[in-house]
Amino acid sequence: MGKFDKYKIDLKGMRTDSCRYEFVLDNQFFADIDNPDIAKGNVHVVLSVKKTSHAFELHFRTEGIVWVLCDRCLDEMEQPVASEDDLVVKFGPEYAEEGDNLVIIPEDEGILNVAWFMYEFVALAIPMKHVHAPGKCNQAMSRALNKHLRVLPDDPSEADVPEDGDDDGADGEGSTPIDPRWNELKKLLDNN
């Protein structure tokens, strides 16, 4: 028995017009998927399968928690996930994915393994940016980050670098003072 055999759905052998399956995606599931985006999790998935005259409509309702790395401190953090996703499955000569939610499976087999689809739905439910709540990040990492942050002056008149690059500060009329470091760099250009 393979790692993902319990996620196989026998569509060809369906005796009724609709079926319901429940899965728990646990730490072992995410370890078996072997993708570094999600470290571990506890996600409950309810899959409803409805047979129509020429296709199968699969509806996935996903809800739970996964552990991902914080973008700021790189420590693990809990991330709630919830989504509802649909997939249409048709029989054909060979396996093919056509579009975002249409899958063709070989009619002679009639079996669809939904493990990877469930993983994708969970991964897509995770926000692009995942950071701890304020004050919850790893303090040592936060101190290291703050040590290397560039601090901008509070007074806009102290922002010495012109934004558009056109003002060289030579005319003195309404211009802001130039950071002396830029003058040193300009000397290098003038020497070349």
pLDDT range class, residue 114, cuts 50, 70, 90: very high
pTM above 0.85, yes or no: no
| Average confidence (pLDDT) over 119-145 | 88
Q: How many residues does the chain have?
A: 192
